[in-house]
Amino acid sequence: MQRRQFTTVSGSLLWAGLGLSPAVRAAVGGWLSEGDASLGVKTALERGATSAVSLLGRTDGFLKNPKVMIPLPGFMKDAAQILKFTGQQKKVDELVTAMNRAAEAAVPEAQVLLLDAVKTLSVADAVKIVRGNDTSVTQYFSSKTRVPLSEKFLPIVTEATEKVSLADKYNAVAGKASGLGLMKKEDANIQLYVTRKALDGLYWMIGEEEKKIRKDPVGTGSEILSKVFGQG
């Protein structure tokens, strides 16, 4: 296998700054093959994507996880208090539940696009991810898949939220509130809001999986992850 030597920086190989263990660097003479770097990152990406979709794309994947649960946005939370005081707590709860159920229903649609993004990973992208911080995988997936996933999620979210009577009222009130500067324009449509928050939750969960791999690559049981992400 052809190996590539990287330019030295302050007397050290650039690869030395990629988070590789001293033992691994010594074993390969301070080099890491492009093939190993690419395979290691692809393995990490696949694990992160598959795990995140599995955890979120099921009943209560969003609703019962406080880290990703989708709440009503700021101004609408205040408006919901009025409904609660008028005995309409159940309707508010139904809306919040529907928002999170919509996200849970949409997430499984992400798997194919996420794995396609892994397949098209370039060597340059692999180097950036290995060298990057704990959110480098999230940033890669977001840059490659956010737009197409938004298009896939939106109709699923729309179908789920339209079943709840308060959804239309949300859009009417939120539209006026946005016009008055009381809430962000991107939060004024419930379908677009839930779609965006579902993707935020998905990428956050992928990032959490990446952190686990970087923290304990040996614990993954994967030789290539240990080699590429191992810390000495």
pLDDT at residue 30, as a whole number: 44
User: Is there a contact between 69 and 194 (Cβ–Cβ < 8 Å)?
Assistant: no
pTM of the model: 0.79
Strand partners, 13: 8
Q: What is the distance between the alpha carbons of residues 229 and 19, in angstroms, rounded to a whole number?
A: 6
pLDDT tens track for 155-214: 999 999 888 877 888 788 778 877 777 778 888 888 999 999 999 999 999 999 988 888
pLDDT tens track for 24-67: 343 333 446 778 888 888 998 999 999 999 999 999 999 999 99
Inter-CA distances, 52 with 40, 155, 209, Å: 18, 21, 7
